[in-house]
Amino acid sequence: MSSAASERNFSTFGFVHSKLRNRLLAIWWVLQKTTLRPSRLTKMHRIVLQRTPSSRTLTKLAKTATRTTSIPMNQMTDAEMRLISCERRVPQVAPDCSRIINQFVDHTLLKADAQPSEIKTLCQEAVQYSFCTVCVNASYASLARKTLDELKESSKPHVKVCCVVGFPLGATTTATKAFEAQQCLDAGAEEIDMVINVGMLQAGEYDFVLRDICAVVAVCKERGAISKVILETALLSPEQIRKASELAIAAGADFIKTSTGFSTRGASEEDVKLMASIAEPAGKKVKASGGIRSAADAQKLITLGATRLGTSAGVEIAQGEHSTNGFTI
């Protein structure tokens, strides 16, 4: 939009404080040109009003923008949904939070005896509850994508396929991991969760670990896919978690992920909090995985910094129940 057109639009607001003109013009342009959501606008509104408490015009502008930029919940990004969730720091998840939590969920089935019929059921549940992805082993990537496409509803958000690579030990060669990631993407996956070589990290072979991660991340970036790096925090000290997180971020990964769900434990609150403190300043995200059995568990981890949840108890979480199936991944 031209400067002249912007000024004509702004004249309708009747500004009288000339010293605020440039600031308000800039804010108006941002509100028109970006996809800021109500929660963010409200926060901006409060901040700006603290600086200019006498500006009724600014109040009108912010309120107008909040009304006109509302979007459906199913189009919000992970970060925006987390912002809403974190504003509700309550012990119990409010009913209107359930849809938000659903869209954090990677609905997971990675057990060795998973059968095609179970993968189809997993996909049906993911569509029904609007989960973010289904997370499956590489051999089921094609089946999952085909099933989701057949079940797709125009009124529902797109459910992606997430595949694991080097899973669950992370001990395959770098070339194998990169090739596996490529095959998964060719079969319809849009997200890749790779496992680091834990032993090499513990041995201090950081260059090896970095190259290992970079190889898979490069494949994902070339295809426009999301990359997540599984640290297996149950086997690491806080110092090692920090180092592994830094290596994953340096490699360009989109997420750092706590666990495979196949080790001694899953995500802990301490792990998520530490990882979020490292990831967020770098503009990266955290996926908590393993042992998430209820909506209360999910809400707690979101509040601590997780923006994605890997769990096989997605349906129980969506229904506000507690999984009784033992250790869930």
pLDDT above 50 for 129: yes
String of DSSP letters for 130-178: T-SEEEE-GGGHHHHHHHHHHH--TTSPPPEEEEEESTTT--S-HHHHH
Of the candidates 252, 179, 152, the residue with the CA atom closest to the CA atom of residue 211: 252
- The CATH topology of domain 75-318 is TIM Barrel (3.20.20)
- The C-alpha atoms of residue 7 and residue 3 are separated, in whole angstroms, by 6
Sorted by where each begins, the domain ranges of the chain are 3-71, 75-318
Q: Cβ atoms within 10 A of the Cβ of 133, count? A: 25
pTM equals 0.71
Q: How would residue 29 be classed by pLDDT, with cut points 50, 70 and 90?
A: very low
Confidence (pLDDT) at 321: 72
- The C-alpha atoms of residue 302 and residue 309 are separated, in whole angstroms, by 8
Pick 223 or 324 by higher pLDDT: 223
From the number of C-beta atoms within 10 Å of its C-beta (0-12, 13-18, 19+), residue 53 rates as exposed
Confidence (pLDDT) at 31: 47
Pick 153 or 215 by higher pLDDT: 215
Contact 106, 129 (CB under 8 A): no
Q: Which residues contact 93 (CB under 8 A, 6 or more apart)?
A: 101, 295, 296, 298, 299, 320
Tens-digit pLDDT profile for residues 3-18: 454 444 444 444 334 4
Confidence (pLDDT) at 6: 46
DSSP letter (8 states) at residue 312: S
Tens-digit pLDDT profile for residues 156-170: 899 999 999 999 999
The mean per-residue pLDDT over the stretch 25-43 comes to 43
The mean per-residue pLDDT over the stretch 315-325 comes to 79
Averaged confidence pLDDT in the chain: 80
Residue 230, H or E segment = strand 226-230
Contact 95, 122 (CB under 8 A): no
Cis check: omega of the bond before 168, within 30 degrees of 0: yes
Between strands 133-136 and 160-165, the pairing is parallel
- The C-alpha atoms of residue 287 and residue 275 are separated, in whole angstroms, by 9
- The C-alpha atoms of residue 194 and residue 212 are separated, in whole angstroms, by 10
Give percent of the chain with pLDDT exceeding 70: 67
Confidence (pLDDT) at 99: 60
Just list the catalytic residues: 193, 257, 287
Tens-digit pLDDT profile for residues 52-79: 333 444 444 444 433 333 444 344 454 4
Q: How would residue 260 be classed by pLDDT, with cut points 50, 70 and 90?
A: very high
The mean per-residue pLDDT over the stretch 75-96 comes to 41
